[in-house]
Structures are given as structure tokens and as C-alpha cells.
Amino acid sequence: MVERVRHPMDLAAYETRVRTGPCFVCAYLSGDPEYRHELVYDDGEHVAFVSRYPTLYGHVLVVPRQHVEHAVRDLNVEAYLRLQEVVYRVARAVEAVVPSERTYLLSLGSQQGNSHLHWHIAPLPPGTPYAQQQFQALLAENGVIAWSDDQAAELGNLLRTALCNG
């Protein structure tokens, strides 16, 4: 397992921003520089991008471009399945690029903050001790990976290549 340097996350500031600021996905898609992310996939209906706050190397988000907030209430079966196909394709690319023991796929968010529907793809490094797996591996309370725009761009390039070849 490759140890990644982590730094503490200001959880209070993060909560304030997601609960009082604009929708982070819509702000990103509109080009707001405060909400920039490294794009790895765009089919016109969905996008995938590298997480700005990764707890695991290779953490990517997949979102519909349209602002929808609930996976089962706001999408019909066809739209849900198209989104899941993108989640699957991007997860396969992540696994092609990032060694992983397991790849976590989950939708998080809340009507109270981060309401835009988004799926997390988070690859668990091989050899991670069991006590540090599952939700423990995803908790920002345990710190986020020290991350630069250049590192996100490098990972983005690798993922775009894997998506083109997959």
C-alpha cells in the first residue's frame, strides 16, 4: 500500500460552503473558478471529474449535467441506467489506472448540502488494514490527500486515456 500524505480538512468551513454556497456541480459546470475540477469524462449528459478532496487516490465523481437531487425520484429508469453505465465505465478506467483491492461506489449528498446527485468512485488501495477500510477510508475527518492541480491533471490524463482505450 502506498502511503499518501494527508492534511486535516477544515470541516466547519466545508460544511458552511456546501450549505450556504452554490451547488458545487452546477458552479463547476458553469465555469466558476472557485469550483474547478479536473474533467475526465463528458458525454453531454454526464460528466466525471477528479475529487478536490480525495481521501483515496483515484477518487472521482460522476454526475448528471442536469441538476437532479434524488437518484430514484428524479430520474426515470432509462436516465438512471444511463448514469449507472457511466459510473461503470469510469470505475473500470479508475481500476485500470489505480491499483485497488476494491472500488467503492456510492451516492452521497443531502438536501441540506451537496444536493446535486453525484456518485463517488473511490478505489481502496491493496493492503489497507481492515479497520481503515469501508467508511473509515472515505471520512474526511481522517484527513484528505495532499493534492495539487498538477497531480489532479496527471491522474486526469491517465483516466482519459484509459476511458479512450476501454
**Domains in the chain and their CATH numbers?**
6-165 (3.30.428.10)
Tens-digit pLDDT profile for residues 103-150: 999 998 888 989 999 999 999 999 999 999 999 999 999 999 988 999
Please check the confidence at residue 1 and state whether its pLDDT lies above 60.
no
Please report which residue ranges of the chain form alpha helices under DSSP H.
11-20, 24-29, 77-97, 135-138, 149-165
Tens-digit pLDDT profile for residues 34-48: 999 999 999 999 999
* Residue-level pLDDT at 13: 93
* Summary mean pLDDT of the chain: 94
pTM, to two decimals: 0.94
* Residue-level pLDDT at 47: 98
How much of the chain exceeds pLDDT 90, in percent? Answer: 90
Of 110, 5, 19, 107, the C-alpha closest to 54 is 5
Tens-digit pLDDT profile for residues 8-19: 999 999 999 999
* Residue-level pLDDT at 2: 63
**Gyration radius of the chain over CA positions:** 15
Tens-digit pLDDT profile for residues 79-92: 999 999 999 999 99
Cα–Cα distance, 149 to 43 (Å, whole number): 23
Contact at 8 Å (CB) between 166 and 93? yes
